[in-house]
């Protein structure tokens, strides 16, 4: 936490968008992340719930905060938004920048076991442990430390589902946009899993939401899933119904298909308000 540096700060919807850097022990490099502090936390001196957004492949900590239109709703609902990056950066690993769907920008929110990735590619532990603790301690004056929710898109949707299922109680609300639901059987997921985790299918299952959903035993979660029918990744990578057909009394799924919508942020920005309402109805109950 000593290394936490404020890089920029801008007023928006009566709150502050702030970008930070810090030295990550888990990842062994400097990382950047964004937060949005809503006016409720600044002016009413009231601690607010935290809502995380995990972004998709090729994104950084900037995509969602800039392109989704979410700040208006974070401000209105009084939620402190946290947007982490999608992979370690600048670790100088051979092959890290060779393709758009592996290495930089494609960390898949897992802890790699294979060389040369296992030292740095630890996004699961980074987001769910290191950054989680940093947010709760560095922003203790603003946040309700035991009241977090989780959102994500695509690869980040996969990460959001996995982090929530693997850490019952840590994230109390969950929603996803066009998530990768069965990564072991999709092009993007299988490429990354093979590279980061090798061939061990038991290990693949530990980062597969459709597998983890079967044994989730935490508090009941109502999961909102939005999916465009014109999404270019739908038939090769996402497979939402592999997840929603899982029968687990502790999980319920609301899967909404939207005719003609693609995978991108024009789709996300159309439905982002519904996601903030979904999280607020759960997280603001505890206030
Ligand atoms: N044409 C894109 C291909 C990559 C892409 O679509 N990335 C998605 C996530 S895909 C799975 O995780 C994304 O969120 N991109 C960022 C954005 O701002 O749209 C490309 O080359 O970027």
Cα gap 138→80, rounded to integer Å = 13
Structure tokens at 62: 């900037």
Looking at the predicted complex, does its ipTM rise above 0.85? yes
Cα gap 217→276, rounded to integer Å = 25
Q: What is the pTM of this model?
A: 0.98
Ligand 1 site residues, Cβ closer than 6 angstroms:
56-59, 63, 67, 100, 153-155, 263-265
Q: Is residue 287 pLDDT above 60, yes or no?
A: no
pLDDT in tens, 72-107: 999 999 999 999 999 999 999 999 999 999 999 999
Q: Which atom of ligand 1 is nearest to the CA of 233?
A: 10
Of the residues 61, 85, 231, 237, only one is catalytic, namely: 231
Q: Is residue 35 pLDDT above 80, yes or no?
A: yes
pLDDT for the residue numbered 1:
65
Domains identified in the chain and CATH numbers: 5-286 (3.40.50.1820)
Best residue among 53, 55, 56, 151 to mutate for probing ligand 1's pocket (most ligand atoms within 8 Å of CB) is: 56
Cα gap 27→21, rounded to integer Å = 13
Q: What is the dihedral of CA 178, 285, 162, 118, to 10 degrees?
A: 110
Structure tokens at 185: 């059987």
- Edge-to-edge order in the sheet of strand 48-54: 5-12, 15-24, 29-37, 80-84, 48-54, 143-153, 174-177, 221-228, 251-258
**Catalytic site residue 258?**
no
Cα gap 10→95, rounded to integer Å = 36
pLDDT in tens, 129-186: 999 999 999 999 999 999 999 999 999 999 999 999 999 999 999 999 999 999 999 9
Structure tokens at 186: 């999709």
Q: Which residue's alpha carbon is nearest to atom 19 within ligand 1? A: 264
Structure tokens at 53: 């957004």
Best residue among 54, 58, 264 to mutate for probing ligand 1's pocket (most ligand atoms within 8 Å of CB) is: 58
Nearest to 189 by CA among 202, 174, 179: 179
**Catalytic site residue 2?**
no
- Where on the phi/psi map is residue 220: left (φ > 0), alpha (ψ -120 to 50), or beta? beta
Secondary element (H or E) of residue 55: none
pLDDT for the residue numbered 44:
80
- β-strands 80-84, 174-177: how paired? unpaired
Cα gap 163→125, rounded to integer Å = 10
Distance of CA 86 to the CA centre of its chain: 9
Q: Give the pLDDT band of residue 2 (cuts 50, 70, 90).
A: confident
Q: Are 255 and 227 in contact (CB under 8 A)?
A: yes
């Amino acid at each position: 936490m000593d290394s936490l540096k404020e890089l920029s700060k801008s007023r928006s919807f009566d709150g502050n968008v702030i970008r930070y850097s810090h030295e990550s022990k888990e990842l062994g490099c400097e990382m950047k992340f964004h937060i949005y502090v809503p006016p409720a936390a600044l002016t009413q001196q009231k601690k607010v719930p935290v809502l995380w957004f995990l972004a998709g492949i090729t994104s950084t900590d900037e995509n969602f905060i800039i392109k989704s239109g979410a700040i208006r709703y974070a401000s209105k609902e009084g939620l402190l938004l946290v947007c982490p990056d999608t992979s370690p950066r600048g670790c100088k690993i051979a092959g890290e920048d060779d393709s758009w769907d592996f290495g930089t920008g494609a960390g898949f929110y897992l802890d790699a076991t294979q060389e040369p990735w296992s030292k740095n590619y630890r996004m699961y532990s980074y987001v769910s442990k290191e950054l989680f603790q940093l947010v709760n301690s560095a922003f203790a004056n603003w946040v309700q430390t035991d009241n977090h929710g989780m959102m994500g898109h695509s690869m980040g949707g996969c990460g959001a589902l996995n982090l929530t299922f693997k850490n019952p109680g840590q994230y109390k609300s969950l929603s996803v946009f066009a998530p990768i639901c069965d990564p072991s059987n999709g092009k993007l997921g299988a490429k990354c899993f093979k590279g980061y985790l090798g061939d061990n299918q038991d290990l693949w299952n530990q980062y597969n939401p459709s597998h983890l959903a079967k044994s989730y035993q935490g508090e009941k979660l109502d999961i909102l899933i939005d999916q465009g029918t014109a999404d270019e990744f739908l038939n090769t990578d996402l497979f939402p119904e592999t997840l929603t057909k899982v029968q687990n009394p502790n999980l319920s799924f609301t899967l909404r298909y939207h005719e003609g919508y693609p995978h991108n942020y024009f789709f996300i920005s159309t439905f982002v308000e519904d996601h903030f309402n979904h999280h607020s109805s759960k997280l603001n109950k505890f206030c």
